[in-house]
Structure 1
């Protein structure tokens, strides 16, 4: 994806820093921005902050969470729960150059002459990006060094240890408060950081830190969690009270939700607070076609979370655990069939239905998939607009924060969650729903039926948008990452209809050597089947199996052979790579790492 970038050398605490300690913190390419010739006007500040936008972008998957059944590549969470993450093997930590770019601009912004409001606007954007940088660091490591300035090679803070989470969180809060107060409210067609974007990040951060402190006693910060929730509520209410945003609802059930994730443009869509404009003429694109049948599918756990159309839990249906793909997707919350590939879905709009892939679970993701073939030009050459911040999250943040504070009212629900449900004609949420025993088992210690239903709603509405992992972490629900995430249920070996046309499309067989389950089918039917095997011709296991041998839930051999374990509280925090702690002995590991 094409991004405007200003490269300024930072190199803080990298493996290569051992050989370039001197001057590596203040070395600038002579062809790049320097304080001697720049930062003289609001226009200079604007040009510089344009180079920060590469740090902000959309998400279109939940592969690091229990929303995914199987991901056929190496990722941090998968390695973590299988015990292969250590300070020696872990990556990360080496992106501090981003912070130096931000601090360099903030330090020198005082040189600028001209419109004071414009100068404060761009300083606010700089502080927004610093808050975003440290929010990500806080989520990963909790305590990290706080750097509010650029550092010279002889600065005593260069190799300091971690600052406390309390200091980091308060510093993020201060930056976001400034950003929300000084960034201008309007930025063209909402592809740039605005006041409302800053308030949305404040809404998100306040909810995250408030609930994280509440549910994580190991931090010893639970007594100081409410002010963050209250700030989340305040920021959300500022956005809601502006009357600039609304849930996209034209009365087209399902289609209105879909349009947020696969349209050519989101300009003028009032639900979108900020979006990424991907156009071939701009040299900007995405890779969203990979969500469908490439390396992952969605989990049975996510599939079971969606309510029935009448508002009752799917898990309250008789025999829910043995329903087939077609049965699972029938009569559900319409958002499910805009997230999961529904029977008969035709990727090329040519009437040829998509054939699901049992090898990755069978519940293939369609949310964010470019629906028009013209939007899919190749690898990293998809041209759909993608939301970065949307109003639906703000509404969910407010509802959850108020519920956690014990101040939520029916009017709050009607102005938030029930607007989302109304879009897809789902029954309204009430203030005192009965506690769903399935949800209660997923979130031990949460007795409130309302909080459980708000967590359901958040998981459903924001599925595949990159929120789920952080939500599990802040709720202290990391144990869900050790759950085996299965795929669809298979009633027996043999042929199955997965497109809903009454004809078999796939066959799941024990091996290529045994086609007895489909022996009685007509030849023209057999030749059109896509076949999947539990073992190869030599008898070696393939990557998936059925939970009951010749029938059952699709499970994965990696989960059987390398069981998942989530160690608390250790796994809520990433280890710092060992090479960094060798370089900086003051940088200690935390919580057992």
Structure 2
């Protein structure tokens, strides 16, 4: 199976996963029916590699995280413009054990864990299946190749489990650890592990299996497998998990050893030979088309067939085919620093270049026209479903896509990238050692942040205001907000920092645009609250388990506080 194409594996995996799920009871009712028999499961090399692909199926891209759009509307990054939307349940603190737009993730990710465990059990007889129908001499190279692929897939199965658990504990805190697929009774009881126990499980899964992973598919003889987990992806999962574990939500006593451990994990990833990580030359174009698949900035990306969903959802309503579903907030826009002298008549001039690559604002040119949000303008905010804030999302969107003719473009969701890693490193290093102590590693926290800023031609961060841990912490939070905008980090950052109870109880701000001259175009801007937000600090830092999961657990699953 030389240079097996990953897209083939995933396609096959979809049907395999459905087979697995259809033969099971509810995934986590703590009664896992894990019996398999020769009558129900095929024994062949094709089945073997099909099961290998199955544990990738639950991976989700962030383009359709909520309301068929990015997750930004649950945070202070954006407001949903449509009259009914699921983000409202977050915005008004209404998440409960019976209402949670993401409740399906719990079962979906445990399906991925189940598929990984199933493959690991099935692959115990891998050599038998590989040899079926093959001549040991004539097919020696094929057999060798298949054995290597199985070895990689075994390691990847462990990394898949680590990834799914990392996403589960981010949402729920401690969860049950399911680490077996066979039981003579066909049923096992699963007590809920603590958050820290799951963290240690994740780290062990990665450390025990990282040596058996492909370092970098792109530069290997098996580049067709790019898209499967690599050593880089595994270390990125570990680094992010340990960063979250060291953060105030999960480290209330601020144990500095947890920060040191997170910093070491980030440094391990930065310095691992063969990963060849580097920032993409350009910020804006990195997120479009096939750029994430070829850029050295990408550590792991989820590939999707060409489509136009994010353009349909987010092109301005004045653009044929566009729904303008979400509006970036002025809360976010105002956070972009000036890169030069402020212009009193144009609040968007001389700003951090990442703003123009992320947000379409009044007076900017996009899709071959000038955006005009004023009354009577092309993007008049008073139009039905018009922007509520005076902004539209631009990041990720391909320019000039003809939606009327249903034109499509490539979109690839970046799960881990080098810029995030640098900011993870900077945060952990600052908390562990301060902003300017490299602890013998290759760079200080300050150098890591400045490396990210330099790509967008932003000056180094102010030394006078960032020479303490507290001052530098604010700089890191700011840089994450700007660099990682709309990539699905903001909500979880606010939670892990325990800033959500302040930030997510503040109103969403927009701008009212008034045109005072047409030749040349001159506008004035007035800020105003456009939506209220509510965050319940007694409950909303964790998701609730659904009522169904609680009932089915027969007392082994305890509900999170506040629900």
Which TM-score bucket, shorter chain as reference? Answer: 0.7 to 0.9
SS in 2 for 1:416: helix
- Select the residue among 113, 120, 129 that pairs with 1:106: 120
Cα distance in 1 for residues equivalent to 2:307 and 2:549: 35
Match of 1:236 among 244, 269, 277: 269
Deviation at 1:489, TM superposition (A): 4.4
Shift of 1:234: 3.4
**Match of 2:534?**
565
Q: Which residue of 2 aligns with 1:468?
A: 490
What number of residue pairs does the alignment pair up? 493
Alignment pair present for 1:369 and 2:369: no
1:423 deviates by 1.6
The reply on whether 1:142 has 2:173 as its aligned counterpart is: yes
> Could you say which residue in structure 2 is the equivalent of 1:387?
414
User: Distance in 2 between the 1:147 and 1:243 partners?
Assistant: 31
Conservation of the 8 A alpha-carbon contact between 2:29 and 2:553 = no
Is the contact between residue 156 and residue 228 of structure 2 (CA under 8 Å) also seen in structure 1? no
Q: Find the counterpart in structure 2 of residue 589 from structure 1.
A: 559
The Cα of 1:222 is off from its aligned counterpart by 4.6
Q: CA 1:16–1:306 in structure 2 vs 1: closer, same or farther (change >3 Å)?
A: closer
Superimposed CA distance per residue, residues 103-152 of structure 1 (whole angstroms, 9 cap, x where no aligned partner): 10122332223767644321111111101111111011111111011255
Q: Is the 8 A contact 2:362 2:371 kept in 1?
A: no
Alpha-carbon distance, 1:212 to partner: 4.5
Instruction: State the Cα deviation string for residues 272-317 of structure 1 (Å, max 9, x = none).
Output: 2233455xxxx5435221234422111111112111104x9xxxx8
CA distance in 2, matches of 1:17, 1:500: 67
CA shift digits 1:547-591 (9 cap, x unpaired): xxxx953433x63xxxx4322242111111112212223211122
- Secondary structure of the residue that 2:482 maps to in structure 1? helix
Rounded Cα–Cα distance in structure 1 between residues aligned with 2:150 and 2:250: 38
* Secondary structure class of the residue paired with 2:529: strand
**Other structure's SS at 1:471 match:** helix
Matching of residue 422 in structure 1 with residue 454 in structure 2: yes
Please report how far the alpha carbon of residue 86 of structure 1 lies from its aligned counterpart in structure 2 after TM superposition. 2.3
**Residue from 224, 246, 262 that aligns with 2:288:** 262
Q: Which residue in the other structure is 2:43 paired with?
A: 37
Aligned partner (choices 67, 84, 95) of residue 85 of structure 1: 95
Instruction: Find the counterpart in structure 1 of residue 197 from structure 2.
Output: 167
- Identify if the C-alpha distance between structure 1 residues 129 and 401 changes in structure 2 by more than 3 Å, giving closer, same or farther: same
How far residue 51 of structure 1 moved from its aligned partner, in angstroms, is 3.0
State the Cα deviation string for residues 219-242 of structure 1 (Å, max 9, x = none). Answer: xx9576335414433333335x64
8 Å CA contact retained: 2:55, 2:113:
no
Q: 1:68 aligns with which of 63, 78, 85?
A: 78
Q: How does 1:303-342 map to 2 (within 5 A)?
A: 303-310=333-340, 327-342=346-361
CA distance in 1, matches of 2:380, 2:233: 38
SS at 1:387 equivalent = strand
The CA deviation at 1:371 is 1.3
Aligned residue for 1:487, secondary structure, equals strand
Q: Cα RMSD between the aligned structures? A: 3.8
Compared CA separation, residues 413 and 581, structure 1 to 2 (3 A): closer
Decide whether aligned partners of structure 1 residues 201 and 71 sit closer, same or farther in structure 2, where only a CA change above 3 A counts. Answer: farther
The question of 1:355 aligning with 2:386 is answered no
- TM value normalised by structure 1: 0.73
Distance of 1:497 and 1:28 partners within structure 2 = 76
**C-alpha contact 2:80 2:87 (8 A) present in aligned 1:** no
CA 1:579 to 1:327, structure 2 compared with 1: closer, same or farther past 3 Å? same
TM-score, scaled to structure 2: 0.76
Q: Residue 528 of structure 1 aligns with which residue?
A: none
Tell me the equivalent position of 1:211. 247
Tell me the residue number matched to 1:486: 509
2:245 and 2:251 in contact (8 A); partners too: no
- Alignment equivalent of 1:458, drawn from 480, 489, 496: 480
Q: Is the 8 A contact 2:327 2:387 kept in 1?
A: no
* Unpaired stretches in structure 2, ≥5 consecutive residues: 1-6, 64-69, 128-142, 317-323, 373-377, 438-442
Q: Is the 8 A contact 1:63 1:296 kept in 2?
A: yes
Could you report, residue by residue, the CA deviation over 1:7-40 in whole angstroms, capped at 9, with x for unpaired residues?
Answer: 233477749979xx7x854479978xx3x614x6
